[in-house]
Amino acid sequence: MAIDVVRLLRDLVAIPSVNPMGRSAAHGPPFGEERLTRFLEQLCRSLGLHVQRQSIGPGQDNLIARLDGDPRPAGGGPLLIFDAHQDTVPVEGMTVEPFAAAIREGRLYGRGACDTKGGMAAMLAAVARLAELPPRARPTVALAFTVNEEHGFSGASALVGQWQPEQLARPDSPWSRRPDAAVVAEPTGLAVVVAHKGVLRWRCHAHGRAAHSSQPQWGDNAIYKMGRALGVLERYQREVVGALADHPLCGPATISVGTIHGGVSVNTVPDRCTIEIDRRCPPGENPESARTHLVDYLARATGLGADLTHDRPELEGPPLSDADNGPLAARLVAAVSEAGHGPAPTIGVPYGTDAAFYGQTGVPAVVFGPGRLEQAHTVDEWIELDQLHAAAEIYYRFARSLASL
């Protein structure tokens, strides 16, 4: 069954799948991936794919849809993952109708059009074409539609857990063995991403003692204490973190403080102040060691002792290393050129993706897709239709090339 990739992308964008980003999903119907999962499940079944859900949480299921080649992976045939996450960031502040999927001047507008339903549509269009070939002319391809990529990577983290020996032995496992390669859809502008940074996010709290603001001497102002910590963090960002780790494609380690909350009213001395810290780790840097270094540095430089505490990370994404994915990247670069869109650069990026979780298991992984990061998460998110068509062709050619492995 042929798929019109533009029409499919319009259908995908029209189905809200907004990640609540830690807020209650009871805020309204745009939140959650379940409606999109149902649509994808029905579509994949209509293509003749073997479909299975993996429950991650309430209303959150990974969807794994497999097109078998011949020989099957259990008999030595190649096994490829195409990964595209189902969730999008929220829509507040958008200047275009987020779910209208309007087309103007060669662009399709809407939340998720670029990140990353464009890549999802292109992968589905490629697999639909592969399904029309004889099994020996294609590899086995598993479409992995993961959940919660934007706020925790819990979908990808759970999916790779299915490759543990005890899970592979289950009669209902969608996998016969660990895959040979993974391509993760993100807006890369048709460049091949071979390395990216990891990310840690956590909350840091300053503790004080509440009092009436008319007698502040009886209190202990937590905001003042956090002010001291913020000064240290600014110095750490400027003078320390960049020297801790670096990567030729991804750049140096970074740190950022993104939010601050403190106090209950202007006439109360605040007894608590909280910030959120974002720490980016280049390939080769251990994220947990990076966090420990910062926590210890803050403790020494502020002298706040027990008045400054840290939660465990609420988000952990490992870095993607370029140490083991060179042959995979070269094959994808060749497919880009064969489709008339080369030469494609191999690059590193500062953000995190599902690809790192595949890479951690020993599966070579790269990131590739239509659209550009500059258009993702924006108030008028859009994707160029020319890139959408190009990506569908490149995914198809790349997958066909694996049949010869």
Could you read off the pLDDT of 253-312 as tens digits, one per residue?
Answer: 999 999 999 999 999 999 999 999 999 999 999 999 999 999 999 999 999 999 999 999
Do 39 and 178 belong together in one domain? yes
| Under 8 Å between Cβ of 341 and 179 | no
Residue 25 has pLDDT above 70, yes or no: no
Single pTM value for the model? 0.94
Q: Give the end of a domain, one of 317, 332, 358.
A: 317
| CATH number, residue 179 | 3.40.630.10
| Under 8 Å between Cβ of 148 and 87 | yes
Quick: pLDDT tens for 87-110.
999 999 999 999 999 999 999 999
Do 184 and 61 belong together in one domain? yes
Do 112 and 246 belong together in one domain? no
With cut-offs at 50, 70 and 90, classify the pLDDT of residue 28: low
The whole-angstrom separation of Cα 189 and Cα 375 is: 10
Do 148 and 122 belong together in one domain? yes
Residue 314 has pLDDT above 60, yes or no: yes
Do 282 and 344 belong together in one domain? no
With cut-offs at 50, 70 and 90, classify the pLDDT of residue 1: confident
Do 104 and 131 belong together in one domain? yes
Do 345 and 298 belong together in one domain? no
Do 261 and 368 belong together in one domain? no
Quick: pLDDT tens for 214-260.
999 999 999 999 999 999 999 999 999 999 999 999 999 999 999 99
Quick: pLDDT tens for 361-393.
999 999 999 999 999 999 999 999 999 999 999
Total of domains in the chain: 2
Do 308 and 336 belong together in one domain? no
Q: Give the end of a domain, one of 287, 317, 347.
A: 317
Do 295 and 383 belong together in one domain? no
| CATH number, residue 254 | 3.30.70.360
Q: What is the arrangement of strands in the sheet containing 365-367, beginning at the earlier edge strand?
A: 50-57, 60-67, 140-146, 79-85, 181-184, 365-367, 192-196, 346-349
What residue numbers bound the domain in which 218 lies? 198-317
Do 190 and 336 belong together in one domain? yes
**67: β partners:** 141
Q: Give the end of a domain, one of 317, 348, 374.
A: 317
Residue 140: partners with Cβ closer than 8 Å, 6 or more residues away: 66, 67, 68, 69, 72, 73, 77, 78, 79, 80
Do 246 and 345 belong together in one domain? no
Tokens standing for residue 224: 């003042």
